[in-house]
A = this chain, B = another copy of it.
Amino acid sequence: MDRVRLEYKSVLGFVAEEEIRRQGEAVLLAHKRLHAKGGEALGWVDLPVRRDLQQLDEVIGAADQIRSHSQAFLVIGIGGSYLGARAGIQMLSHSFCEVHYSSGPAIYFAGHNASSTYMADLLDLLDDRDISINVISKSGTTTEPAIAFRILREYMERRYGKRMAKERIFVTTDGKKGALKKLADEEGYTSFVIPADVGGRYSVLTPVGLLPMAVAGLDVEEIIRGAADAHARLGSSDLAKNDCYRYAVLRYLLYQKGKAVELLVSYEPCLQYFAEWWKQLFGESEGKEGKGIFPASCLYTTDLHSLGQYVQEGRRILFETVIDIERPRREVQIPEDSADRDGLNYLAGKTMDYVNRQALLGTLLAHTDGGVPNLILKVPQLSPYHCGELFYFFQKACGLSGYLLGVNPFDQPGVEAYKKNMFALLGKPELAQRRQELQGRLEDLTP
């Protein structure tokens, strides 16, 4: 079957079919909330079939332009304006795409941290290559990307001149308001719209994710097609027919039984940032009101030689969701060695992926036996189509999951707490009194 699908038979030792079925009514209610016009979920649910929100033609046009005149492309964004694009690009590109150039520019990320070392090192790369920039921020005032853009805009204008720099700066921001929208209008930068009713972590299928992925040479039409098919397939309110709802229900039931940590596991290193995207999606949607599964990730077999011991025999607070890629992008055969000094000749002629697959299957059984339930998400291959499907699968699962847990999966009130402190400490004039309080507390903490 050429689609993403969930296998959960090995979990039935931990959760009974009857328990799953009993969630059918709660799922129906949550489904209605997700699809309600004007509800909290809003724009992203139907995004894959809303051509107006994707702006695909404009995205592809801009990407062609960028690819034709750039050897490096800087994507400036943080959180939901960063992880989706990075996840898709890593999943579908050459493992060493920054070194092993294809026809398009190398992609670098900026504004996703406040490290001066990272920024200074990044600037080292720029002088001998032609650069384009995509700055992504709904408001334009998020500190990290705003600082990065200020530094890099200045760099671009110094290097190319103000007029030419404009041809190389692309903005993705709110359609109507905000500092970045205003700046883009005044300077005449090519702009893309983040739909007002699509939250950051649900925005990968808007120009937020699509433009960087298109610049990386990915077939964004196919990504959207995969998401649109998933939209149709996962549109049923019937738990028995909807794999992403079943995933949501199973993880909810496991959480009720004391599984506090979910590990997203993959056997392909190119899924490292997909796991990061997933961690934001679920962590930010569910981690509130003292609730929520803690989302973590592993890359196996690497981490079987690291966290594997803990997963097998540590505290039984874990379950795993394994992304099982059925066909690898490339194959390598294990050669024969007549001396067989490493004892591997029983594998000669087999492929590395065959070994990877037996590791996956063996681990599935070992961890299940060890008391760690394993959900399996079968993915036919890492293609743009299935990438789109995966994005949509997890987004919809996450929306439902949050509702089952009894939280609003579309807000993130806790993200403000550190920002408020940081702005005070940075000396924002209107927060002077808070600054004094915080500095007093900090002095008490440091000997």
State the A residues within 8 Å of B (CB): 7, 9-10, 78-80, 82-83, 94-96, 98-100, 106, 108, 112-125, 140-144, 146-147, 149-151, 154, 179-180, 182-183, 186, 200, 260-261, 267-270, 276, 279-280, 283-284, 286-292, 294-296, 299-302, 304-318, 328-332, 334-335, 337, 341-344, 346-347, 350-356, 358-359, 361-367, 369-370, 412-415, 417-429, 438, 441-442, 444-447
Q: Which of B186, B311, B355 contacts A426 (CB 8 A)?
A: B355
Given contacts A115-B267, A415-B312, contact A422 B94 (CB under 8 A): no
Report chain B residues within 8 Å CB of A423. 362
With A117-B95, A268-B115, A286-B310 as known contacts, state yes or no: A422 contacts B347, CB within 8 Å. no
The answer to whether A151 touches B334 (Cβ under 8 A) is: yes
Partner among B182, B276, B421, B445 whose Cβ is within 8 Å of the Cβ of A366: B421
How many angstroms from the CA of A328 to the CA of B429 in the assembled complex? 27
A363 and B359 CA atoms in complex are apart in Å by 40
Could you tell me if A346 and B429 are in contact, using CB atoms closer than 8 angstroms?
yes
Which chain B positions have C-beta within 8 A of A442? 361, 364-365
Do residues B292 and A332 form an inter-chain contact, with CB atoms below 8 A?
no
A23 to B329, CA, bound (A): 53
- CB proximity of A435 to chain B, nearest CB, Å: 10
* Contact flag A418-B366 (CB < 8 Å), given A120-B330, A151-B334: yes
A332 contact set on B, CB distance < 8 A:
116, 119-120, 123, 151
Cα-based distance from A276 to B303 in the complex (angstroms): 9
Closest CB in chain B relative to A408 CB, distance in Å:
12
Chain B residues closer than 8 Å to A294, beta-carbon distance: 261, 296, 310, 314-315, 317-318
Known: A9-B447, A115-B268. 17 other contacts (CB 8 A): A7-B447, A82-B302, A95-B121, A99-B106, A100-B125, A114-B353, A116-B353, A118-B268, A121-B330, A141-B342, A260-B261, A276-B306, A283-B309, A296-B296, A309-B412, A346-B426, A362-B421
Cβ contact of A418, chosen from B144, B359, B444, cutoff 8 A: B359
With A78-B305, A287-B309, A332-B151: A96-B114 Cβ-Cβ less than 8 Å: no
Residues A304 and B418 in contact in the complex (CB < 8 Å), given A294-B261, A328-B117? yes
Contacts A112-B302, A295-B307, A366-B421 hold; do A117 and B78 have CB atoms under 8 A apart? no
Collect the chain B residues with CB atoms within 8 Å of residue A108's CB. Answer: 96
Given A310-B292, A366-B417, A421-B366, A9 contacting B445 (CB threshold 8 A): yes
B106 touches A301 (CB 8 A): no
Q: Given the complex, which residues of B lie within 8 Å of A283, measured CB to CB?
A: 306-307, 309-310, 314
Ranked nearest first, the 5 interchain pairs of A and B with the lowest CB-CB distance are: A287-B310, A287-B314, A79-B305, A362-B421, A312-B414
